[in-house]
Amino acid sequence: MKLHGVSLSPWVRRLMVLMDEKGIEYELVPAVPGENASAELRNMNPLGRIPVLELDDGRFLADSLAASIYLDSAFPGHQFIPADNWARSWDLWLCEFVASAIFSRFEGTFFVQRVVRPAFEKAAPDEGKISEVAHHIPPAYEYLEAHLMNTAFLSSSDLTLADVTAASVLLNMRHAGEEIDPDRWPKLADYLNRMHQRPSFVASIKKDMELIGHVSALRPT
């Protein structure tokens, strides 16, 4: 299988980590999304977004949630999407929460300003744009903190797709120099450290460092 995209995208990383955790072999094929998307990427995904998962038989899945659902049921190993009806639905809600309340509301801005601009555009971050979105952080982190009060993972005592998703998106906040404040959100800070120390995340962080090591606030331990 081929995974089109770059590890810095939290949605590409979600699939990299999932495949690593399940022991699925794949080839990462670099692809730039957005306005500069190639005709090849647009042929696979008319939205010009990454990731695109290309199956060995030539079919494409151009969305990380769709691809996660496919991979989880097509391959053996740990099941990331719970079989129980309520647990599965709740896990998908947490994934949606991370996408809407974190990725869309503030992570994208932090990452573009603090990482993409200095690393790839040789431009200084516009901290004004960061100030405009920073107020979205506390309610999002408080919601996740509340769900970690009695469990090791977000939606249950076991690792699920919601954990891979949250840790993928929040890794980009670390890359942007924003650590979770352990005095305000102790469970979330501890949880993220645990998630990012998993071999699957360590491998993904190593790839990120090859691209942005010179600007990132995170150094692999």
Q: Please, what is the minimum distance in Å from the beta carbon of residue 131 to ligand GSH?
A: 22
Are 3 and 27 in contact, with CB atoms under 8 Å apart? Answer: yes
CA dist 176 and 102 (Å) reads: 14
Neighbours of 107 (CB within 10 A): 26
Q: Would you list the DSSP string of 103-160?
A: IIIIIHHHHIIIIIHHHHS-----HHHHHHHGGGHHHHHHHHHHHTSS-SSSSSSS--
CA dist 159 and 161 (Å) reads: 7
- Out of 4, 48, 144, 148, point to the residue binding ligand GSH (CB under 6 A): 48
Q: Please, what is the minimum distance in Å from the beta carbon of residue 114 to ligand GSH?
A: 15
By CB under 6 A, residue 19 contacts ligand GSH: no
- Sign of the Cα torsion 183, 189, 194, 197 reads negative
By CB under 6 A, residue 97 contacts ligand GSH: no
CA dist 165 and 18 (Å) reads: 10
Q: Please, what is the minimum distance in Å from the beta carbon of residue 157 to ligand GSH?
A: 26
Beta carbon nearer to ligand GSH, 48 or 82 = 48
Q: Site map for ligand GSH, 54-93, x if CB under 6 A?
A: ---------xxx----------------------------
Beta carbon nearer to ligand GSH, 65 or 102 = 65
By CB under 6 A, residue 155 contacts ligand GSH: no
Beta carbon nearer to ligand GSH, 33 or 125 = 33
By CB under 6 A, residue 13 contacts ligand GSH: no
Q: Under the rule (CB under 6 A), what is the footprint of ligand GSH?
A: 9-11, 33-34, 48-51, 63-65
